[in-house]
Amino acid sequence: MLPRCVLRGMTLTDKFGRTINDLRLSITDRCNYRCVYCRSGNNGPSFAELRFQDYVRIARVFVSLGITKIRLTGGEPLLRRDLLELVRELRALKTLDGEPLDIAITTNGHLLADLAQPLKEAGLNRVTVSMDAVDPELFAKITRVPNGFEKVVQGVRAAKAAGLTPVKVNCVLLRGFNEEQIVPFGVFAREEGVVVRFIEFMPLDEDRHWSPEIVVPLNEVVARLNTYMPLRHLDHGHSETARRYVFEDGRGEMGIIAPVSLPFCGACSRIRVTSDGKIRTCLFSVREHDLASLILEGASDEEIADRIRYAVENKEQRHHIGEADFMPASRTMVHIGG
């Protein structure tokens, strides 16, 4: 039997006192885009996907341990044909307080226009769309997909119309590539009524091109946006990853997620499960905890819960990006889940 971590107040709490209530559940590492900061230009290997019912079971056990938020990720989760059924099953789960789960999804948006309303009807709360340029030519260069820009914009608008709000648009910034899109994204946020969030580039790409020089830090993003219109700072939650801002006239919310220049590990509330059923307690974990093998061996829910507790007890205190002892993650981002 695996040793248990302490279950305090019916919530998962690690040895550093952080409450873990946010599950990122990857349901595929397949993707129809080949974004330059994530994938190589080739069709690399994929890991196995679990059965639909296995993801439901994993989610149910996590919720029984205090998880209140589930975000479905990939790869591109909209490629799963059983996605709507999965969302309906998750919607039936209740938190320990008897409240509905907060269910969200992260997608590249390419297939979202037709699925936004069905996802809402199935029980999805919110959607985040990955979109790294508002210039169609640069968008195609980043994604390596021609004519994708309009599909993604249509998806963003469909999500907003369906009530999957607030719709968030995530942009990964790479110096020398798309930092000139910062101000245009400010305009986009105001015109489309969405929350735009800029994310510092992290060393999770397949080609291992990351370097500190490529990172566009938070202070520079704020300075560039201020040239367009002054920003004012908004309060954010204790475990919220983004520093939030709004333009001075109240239109256009911007967020900046700065894991490199302003790490937020001390307030981390997340745990991840990969599409092949491995627990990762940090994006930069070098060790995984296997749930899929337990399921295949016929383990009980309590045995699965024990492994989850053990993983949480051994969650890393922080990442070490940019430090001498930094070790690259054992998987790249597409194989972890965003």
Annotated binding site: 24, 31, 35, 37-38, 71, 75, 106, 130, 168, 202, 265, 268, 270-272, 282
Residues 6+ apart with CB under 8 A from 52: 82, 85, 86
Residues 6+ apart with CB under 8 A from 305: 61, 64, 65
Distance CA 251, CA 153 (A): 19
Binding residues for GTP: 24, 71, 106, 168, 270-272
Q: What angle do CA 262, 247, 148 make, to 5 degrees?
A: 80
Binding residues for [4Fe-4S] cluster: 31, 35, 38, 265, 268, 282
Binding residues for S-adenosyl-L-methionine: 37, 75, 130, 202
234 in Cβ contact with 244 (< 8 Å): yes
271 closest CA partner among 14, 24, 73, 57? 24
106 closest CA partner among 56, 170, 39? 170
76 in Cβ contact with 108 (< 8 Å): yes
Here the tokens at position 125 are 């709360």
β-sheet bridge partners, residue 26: 73
